Amino acid sequence: MLEADEAADIQEVQAWAAGLQAVHARIAGRFARAEPRRRALAYLRGLLGNVGRKNGWQLAEHAGERTPDGMQRLLATADWDPELVRDDLRAYVVEHLGDPGAVLVADETGFLKKGTTSVGVQRQYSGTAGRSTTASWECSWPMPARRVGR
């Protein structure tokens, strides 16, 4: 039974890898040069991979780079249109996950923070605290369960 489980795991990993390659193929033409195209794939691998914190250093290390300079260059100065890439990714998600009966649930939640060193932490009004305090915000898109029957 273990061999069957391992084979299933290998097939699942191969399917995920093929899906990632398909996403990359869809957006690759949005990058003017080969280097940013390759780095965009490494960036996606890091975002979707087993990286503890999704920041420039950790994503660069996951990609085998010594410093985050390349990842920062990709996001800050490389020649590509983030809005077109967003549109491509949205189309991919709709094609693969879309459902005519789906409901989008957006949850904007504030989290109280004690320090100011995390990204997005600043003094702002928080409904959670009922006052102005240091907080950060997260927007999540939970997937509601499909309603069965009526």
The answer to the question of residue 150 being in a domain is no
The answer to the question of residue 39 being in a domain is yes
The answer to the question of residue 102 being in a domain is no
Q: How many domains does the chain have?
A: 2
Q: Do 111 and 51 lie in a common domain?
A: no
pLDDT of residue 66: 96
pLDDT digits (tens, 9 = 90+) for 26-53: 999 999 999 999 999 999 999 988 888 8
Q: Do 67 and 118 lie in a common domain?
A: no
Q: Do 53 and 29 lie in a common domain?
A: yes
The answer to the question of residue 145 being in a domain is no
Alpha-carbon distance 109 to 145, whole Å? Answer: 20
Q: 54-89: b or e for each residue (b if 16 or more CB lie within 10 Å)?
A: eebebbbebbebeebebbeebbeebebeeeebeebe
pLDDT of residue 62: 95
Alpha-carbon distance 82 to 69, whole Å? Answer: 19
Split at pLDDT 50, 70, 90, the class of 1 is: low
pLDDT digits (tens, 9 = 90+) for 64-118: 999 999 999 999 999 999 999 999 998 998 888 777 777 766 666 666 677 666 6
pLDDT surpasses 60 at 149:
no
pLDDT digits (tens, 9 = 90+) for 110-147: 666 776 666 666 777 777 667 777 776 666 666 656 55
What the block records as the tokens of 109 is: 């939640």
Q: Do 112 and 71 lie in a common domain?
A: no
The answer to the question of residue 147 being in a domain is no
Q: Is 46 exposed, middle or buried (0-12, 13-18, 19+ CB in 10 A)?
A: buried
What the block records as the tokens of 117 is: 């060193």
Q: Do 15 and 60 lie in a common domain?
A: yes
Q: Do 81 and 22 lie in a common domain?
A: yes
Give residue 87's domain range.
2-97
Q: Do 128 and 83 lie in a common domain?
A: no
